[in-house]
Amino acid sequence: MACNQDIPEEAIDLHNKMVKYLDGYIFGDDLIKLKELFKDIPLTPAVMEKISNIYDLFKHLLDNKIISIGSYTKFISNLRLINPNQAAYVEKRERDMQEVIKRDLPVVTIGQTTYSVSTNSQVTLQCSVSANPAITSVVWQKSSGGTTSSITIDGTRYSGGSTTSPTLVINNAASTDSGTYVCRATNSIGTGTGTSITLSVTGSANHVNMASNQYIPKEVIALHNEMVIRLDGYILGDDLIKLKNFFKEIPLTSADMENIHNMYDLFEHLMKNEIISFGSYTKFISNLRQINPYQATYVEKKEREMKEIIKRGNGSGTDENITAEQPQDDIGSNRNSTAEDPDEGDSPAGEKSICKLS
């Protein structure tokens, strides 16, 4: 095994049990034959005389680094000539030990250490976890003003932060979200901690628009974020590469392609280049259908839901009872709104707490 590598107690225990088991099968003539196969490499005649059982043989082979705990290649090769069944047993134990040795604390990797966003915008704190055994929980903690608290994932203000999608997404960021964030992932071995992330939320955000001067309701943004988080759990690896290739050069440059590692990145680039927008994913759906028809159908469903909300927010479907004197900006989904009561039924599209994509 690697130099200076610590061996887990569990692996040592498996090794000792294996040697004890072999001691009941490899003795007498079989032990003599096995020793002979190691004669001079590394066993000298003097050492050969001192080896009276399998325990002694293992000790000398370990001392001379012919074998190590979890690595018995030469021993298995020689034992197979004496007793194939026991050689197969040692191979199995070797695999068990190697699996134990590979186990470790989760390794938590972050995308970047600092983020600076405007108030009411969305920010994604990128995080990935590799672990063996698999992680059982992910917790994000925020420290600010000497106080540390765990983030409650509610699916609205905070989403992600799960074993399948460790990345934390903060919607409608507020100044109170400023602080230092740490992602912790736990498996049966223990807890791994990522490098701390500093988030700064300042100023105020502009508004998100799909068309000129059109505001996007918070409910639509929440549905969009929910959709992206779900897709990030399904479209990855080869599927993500295939999907990126459909957008190659239109609009993704080679540099863009290299920087897109997940669905969050892809959506960000497509929205920035106005290939898609909130509630309008035609080109994306068309390309996704060639990769994963089921998820394409899911996006279509979310698109319809968002469009319905946007239509309500823009006053679509209001009836003729709305008077000409009523300011158009005040028309909402309340069919009983009147000119005398312009504030009743205000459209959620007029919310001032949504960010703008440029």
pLDDT for 249? 74
Is residue 120 in a domain?
yes
- Do the Cβ atoms of 182 and 139 come closer than 8 Å? no
Q: What is the pTM of this model?
A: 0.42
Looking at the domain assignment, is residue 323 inside a domain?
no
Q: What is the pLDDT of residues 145-159, one digit of tens each?
A: 889 999 999 888 899
d(C-alpha 63, C-alpha 23), whole Å = 19
Q: Across the chain, what does the average pLDDT equal?
A: 82
Q: What's the CATH code of the domain at 286?
A: 1.10.533
Residue spans of beta strands (DSSP E) within 162-214: 168-170, 179-186, 191-193, 197-202
Name the amino acid, one letter, at 160. G
Is 232 within a domain?
Answer: yes
Domain boundary among 174, 202, 230: 202
DSSP state letter for 39: B
Of the candidate ranges 16-25, 64-73, 259-268, 293-302, the one whose mean pLDDT is the lowest: 259-268
**93 and 131 belong to one structural domain:** no
- Identify the domain boundary among 202, 233, 250: 202
Q: Are residues 98 and 27 in the same domain?
A: yes
Does residue 324 belong to any structural domain of this protein?
A: no
DSSP reduced 3-state for 59: helix
First to last CA, the chain: 54
| Cα(33)–Cα(48) distance, integer angstroms | 11
The residues facing 191 across adjacent strands are 186
Choose the final residue of a domain: 83, 102, 121. Answer: 102
pLDDT digits (tens, 9 = 90+) for 245-254: 888 877 788 8
Q: Which domain holds residue 37?
A: 9-102
Token digits for 87?
Answer: 């050689």
CA-closest candidate to residue 337, choices 318, 312, 317: 318
> Can you state the angle between helices 282-289 and 238-246, rounded to 10 degrees?
130
- Whether residue 56 is contained in a domain is answered as yes
Q: Please indicate, yes or no, whether residues 222 and 197 belong to a single structural domain of this protein.
A: no
Claim to verify: residue 121 and residue 86 sit in the same structural domain: no
pLDDT of 172 reads 84
Tokens for 49? 């005389």
Statement to judge: residues 164 and 226 lie in one domain? no
Indicate if the pLDDT at residue 319 is higher than 70.
no
Q: Which of the four pLDDT bands, split at 50, 70 and 90, describes residue 206?
A: very low
Q: Please count the CA atoms within 13 angstroms of the CA of 149 that sit on its side-chain side.
A: 10
Residue 28 burial (CB count, 10 A): 7
Looking at residues 204-226, what average pLDDT do you find? 65
Q: Does residue 52 lie in a domain region?
A: yes
Q: How far is CA 172 from CA 21, 99, 221, 222, in A?
A: 63, 44, 9, 10
Sign of the dihedral through C-alpha 194, 196, 201, 202: negative
- The reply to whether 319 falls in a domain is no
What's CA 164's distance to the chain center, in Å?
A: 6
Reported as a pLDDT band with limits 50, 70 and 90, residue 100 is confident
One domain for residues 137 and 192: yes
Residues 40 and 122 in one domain: no
Total domain count for the chain? 3
Instruction: Please report which residue ranges of 51-159 form alpha helices under DSSP H.
Output: 54-63, 73-82, 84-102
In this structure, the answer to whether residues 154 and 72 fall within a common structural domain is: no
| Lowest model confidence (mean pLDDT) among 97-101, 167-171, 192-196, 288-292 | 97-101
Q: How many CB atoms lie within 10 A of CB 43?
A: 21
pLDDT at position 258, please?
85
Instruction: State whether residue 269 is helix, strand or coil.
Output: helix
Pairing verdict, β 197-202 and 114-118 = parallel
Counting Cα atoms < 13 Å in the Cβ hemisphere of 35 gives 24
| pLDDT value at residue 157 | 87
Cα(34)–Cα(51) distance, rounded to whole angstroms? 11
Which residues share a beta bridge with 139?
Answer: 184
Whether 183 is in a domain gets the answer: yes
**Phi and psi, residue 147, nearest 5°:** -115, 135
The tokens 């005040």 sit on which residue? 330
Task: Say yes or no: 75 and 141 in one domain.
Answer: no
Least confident of 14-23, 34-43, 96-105, 346-355: 346-355
In the predicted model, is pLDDT for residue 355 greater than 70? no
Checking if the pLDDT of 333 tops 50, the result is no
